[in-house]
C-alpha cells in the first residue's frame, strides 16, 4: 500500500504535478523518517511547520511504514 502525502498551501508548488484533490502517493521503504521523506521530495524543511500522520501530530523523526496518510502544513500568517 502506498503512502499518501497531503500538502497544504505553498508546499504544493514544491512537488511537480501535485494534485490538490488527491494528494501525492508514493512507495517508500518501511523505516523511512519524515525528515528523509521531506528531503527526498525536495520540500524546504524550514517551510514545514505542522506534521500529521493519520490525523495525529508527529515530528521529524517519526518513522513511517509506508501505508500512512502524511499531511504537511506551512506556517500560517494572518491578522
pTM, 2 dp: 0.90
- pLDDT digits (tens), the chain, 79 positions: 689 999 998 899 988 889 989 999 999 999 999 999 999 999 999 999 999 999 999 999 999 999 999 999 998 765 5
**Matching residue, cell 488527491:** 22
- Collapsing DSSP to helix, strand or coil, 76 comes out as coil
Q: Using CA of residue 38, residue 42, residue 48, residue 53, what is the dihedral sign?
A: negative
Whether 30 maps to a domain, the answer reads yes
Q: How far is CA 35 from the centre of its chain?
A: 9
CA distance 18 to 75: 20
Query: What is the reported pLDDT for 71?
Result: 97
Domain of 57?
Answer: 3-73
Q: Is residue 38 part of a domain?
A: yes
Give the CATH number, domain containing residue 57.
3.10.20.30
Task: Count other Cβ atoms within 10 Å, centred on residue 43.
Answer: 18
Number of domains in the chain: 1
Q: Is residue 79 part of a domain?
A: no
Amino acid at each position: 500500500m502506498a503512502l499518501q502525502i497531503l500538502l497544504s498551501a505553498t508546499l504544493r508548488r514544491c512537488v511537480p504535478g501535485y494534485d490538490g484533490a488527491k494528494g501525492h502517493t508514493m512507495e517508500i521503504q518501511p523505516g523511512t523518517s519524515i525528515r528523509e521523506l521531506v528531503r527526498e521530495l525536495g520540500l524546504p524543511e524550514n517551510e514545514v511547520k505542522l506534521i500529521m500522520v493519520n490525523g495525529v501530530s508527529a515530528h521529524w523523526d517519526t518513522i513511517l511504514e509506508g501505508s500512512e496518510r502524511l499531511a504537511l502544513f506551512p506556517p500560517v500568517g494572518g491578522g
